[in-house]
Each structure stands twice: as C-alpha cells, then as structure tokens.
Amino acid sequence: MAQIDPAERLLNLIIALTHARTRMTRAQIRESVAGYEPLPAGLSEEEAARRDAAFERMFERDKDDLRRMGIPLQTVVDPTHGDEIGYRIDPSNARMQAIDLTPAELAVVALAAEYWTDATVGQEARQALTKVASGSGPRPQVALPFAARSVASSEAILVLAEAIQHRQAVRFEYASANSGSVGVRTVEPWHLSMGGGAQYLTGLDRDRGQARTFRVSRILGAVRTIGPDGAYEVPDPLPVGGDRGQEPLKTARVALRPESGHALRERGTPAGTDDGWDVVDVEYRYGDALRDEVLALGGAARIVEPAELAAHVRDHARAALEVSRG
C-alpha cells in the first residue's frame, strides 16, 4: 500500500479500533488498517526484521498520539488466543460529552485558547477549542474589546495534569521558597490548584515521605515522568490541610489605601478603618502569594496581621533596599 499521511493513518486506526467487536491484535492492525504496511511474502529475514521494527515504531508513535488526544485505549488479553495483547477503543467512553455553549460563551472560550504565550501550552489549548467548536453551534465572528495574555506559562502544568490522570510519579528541579536553594524533588502528583497568576501542585514528596504543596512557577526546567502508570493511589480525602488537598485556609488582616487594592478588597471582608486606611480581612492559603500581592501594591497595602507575614514583607523590602544601594 502506498505511503499515506500520518493523520489519515491515525484516523483509520481510530475508526478500526472503535468498531472492533472484541479487540484487534498488532498483527491484525498491521494487516488491515490503511496506512500500515502488511509484510509481503518472500522477503529476506533481514528485510522482514527491518520492516517489523519500522511497524513497531510507527504503532508506538500512534499509541502516544491517541493518548495525547485523550482517547482511552483499552488493552484486552484474550486467553483463548495466547498472551498476545489486543487493543480496542470503547466508543461510549471515548466520545466527547455534549457541551452546549452559547455564541457568547464560545467567543470567550476562543479568546481563552489564545491566552498562552508558551507555544506548547497554546497548541493544547487550541486543540481543546477544536473539540469545543465541534460540539457547539456556529461560532460568532465578533471582535471583543477584550484580550488576554499570560506572563508565565510552561509545559509543566500539562505534564503534571497528565501525570495526575495516569498516577505517574514526576521529577523536577524546584526553587525552595524559604532558602532560595534549588533541589530535585520526586513527587507523586495528586492535585493542581489554578489561581489567577499562580498554580500550585499538591502531592507526596517521596524523599521526605510527606505531602507537600509546590508553586508551579518555581519549578525550573522540565518536569519528567518516571516509572509506570498506576504507580500510586491518590488519598481520599487528601491529607494536606483543607478538604481539597490545599494548604489550610487562614485569615490575614490587611490595610489598604483608599481606592486601591481592589482585588484584595473584593476578596476580603471590611473590618473598619484605621487612620485613613481601609482595613479588610482576607482569607488566604499561600502566605508567599499574599506577600507578593502586598509587595506589588508598592505601599498601597500593608499586612496588619499575622505578624509573621508582616515581617516577611518588611524583610523583602529591606533586602531590596540593601541591593538597590549597589
């Protein structure tokens, strides 16, 4: 059979495996699915081995592509046919659920798909948009007076989300919040928490034998998966802090200059005024995130309590003064 486009082969593989009554073995796939080359008779042993290896490589790549597309590939062992593994796709499990988006919702999802400045994450977001668009009515071609761009984004969240789904351990370099030092962490990932600018991973730190929360932006370089799928169970409920595996919720009292710090104001509960400052109580999980938020307001906000957080803000400002003396 003539060489065909990889996309065409992948499409035919999906159709064949979805329609397979029980399963298809590798040999059956190679024989019958358009795009794979069946082994012709009368080849030398060497040539046959070369073609076998080429088929195996191609099939492994296609399996990776199916996984990347989100298609659950079942492996089926049929005891009456020896131990050879067969494959199938369960159509009811693979099919996308209907999403009934209004035209306005579809427009804003299309805008979100362009959010990432990172090429790899952007590609995944656009592929997600393709799926959303295939289950929705016509997409309005309107220009919204609104745009969005990410500042920080990396492939790390993709690898972590996939690893959580497959229960696969990960390894990465991490910059500690407290010491400023870098170390290698091996983690069984449980949970991703997505805030506005920051994302947090919760999981079991294998070397410490304890649950830990990591700020994704402090992961340096690539996240690599290690070991097999299904390597651990995610505890239920998660042991760290609150009910969803995050740090426990705490309350800070923050003073804000009038008409500034709207984000904090809106999240918080008013707690009076103090010498011209508005005081609000703000719930937070991650002290470093609140500290950075207060620092970024450049004097338009201060921490009233806890004292520890106020001290961190001061320490950072003093350190900045020190370094700014040159």
Partner 1 sequence: MAERATDRVTRMLGIVSYLEANGATPFGELAAQFGVSVDQIRKDVLTLWVSGLPGYMPDDLIDFDPDLFDEDVARLREGHGVSQVRFSAREAVALIGALQSLIASGVAPAAAHSAMEKLRDALGVEGIETSRPAQIPGEVLGPLRQAILERHAVQLDYVDAKDNRTSRTVEPHRIVSIGGVAYLECWCRRAEGYRTLRIDRMGAVEMLDDDVATAPSDAVGFDLQTRFEATVVLAPGARWAIEDLPGVTLEAAGDDVVARFGVADAAFVAGRLLSVAPYVRSVEPQELREALAVQAHAVLAAQA
Which residues in the 26-65 window bind partner 1 by CB under 8 A? 32-34, 65
* DSSP assignment letter at 248: P
115 is an interface residue for partner 1 by CB under 8 A: yes
101 is an interface residue for partner 1 by CB under 8 A: yes
Q: Which stretch binds partner 1 (CB under 8 A): 38-46, 48-56, 75-83, 122-130?
A: 122-130
238-277 positions binding partner 1, by CB under 8 A: 244, 255, 257-263, 265-267
Q: 254 with 280: CB under 8 angstroms?
A: yes
Q: Which residues contact 322 (CB under 8 A, 6 or more apart)?
A: none
Alpha-carbon span 283 to 140, nearest angstrom: 39
254 three-class SS: strand
Closer residue to partner 1 in complex, CB, 49/102: 102
Q: Which of 45, 46, 100, 308 binds partner 1 (CB under 8 A)?
A: 100
Task: Give the pair of three-digit tokens for residue 249.
Answer: 């919720």
Q: Which stretch binds partner 1 (CB under 8 A): 41-49, 79-87, 156-164, 223-231?
A: 156-164
At 97, which amino acid appears? Answer: Q
Minimum gap (Å) between residue 44 Cβ and partner 1: 28
Pairing state between β 199-205 and 269-274: unpaired
Q: What are the phi and psi torsion angles at 26 (to 5°)?
A: -55, -40
Minimum gap (Å) between residue 210 Cβ and partner 1: 19
Q: Which of 48, 58, 73, 161 binds partner 1 (CB under 8 A)?
A: 161
Pairing state between β 85-89 and 269-274: unpaired
157 is an interface residue for partner 1 by CB under 8 A: yes
Minimum gap (Å) between residue 1 Cβ and partner 1: 10
Measured on CA atoms in the order 152, 225, 113, 267, is the torsion positive or negative? Answer: negative
25 is an interface residue for partner 1 by CB under 8 A: no
194 is an interface residue for partner 1 by CB under 8 A: yes
209 three-class SS: coil
Closer residue to partner 1 in complex, CB, 117/210: 117
Q: Which stretch binds partner 1 (CB under 8 A): 47-55, 73-81, 185-193, 222-230?
A: 185-193
Q: Which of 58, 281, 302, 306 binds partner 1 (CB under 8 A)?
A: 302
Q: Which of 86, 109, 172, 187 binds partner 1 (CB under 8 A)?
A: 109
Minimum gap (Å) between residue 272 Cβ and partner 1: 18
Counting residues that bind partner 1 (by CB under 8 A) gives 141
Q: Which of 151, 275, 307, 308 binds partner 1 (CB under 8 A)?
A: 151
Task: Give the pair of three-digit tokens for residue 241.
Answer: 């802090």
| 3-state helix/strand/coil string of 23-90 | CEEHHHHHHHCECECCCCCCCCHHHHHHHHHHHHHHHHHHHHHHHHHCCCEEEEECCEEEECEEEEEC
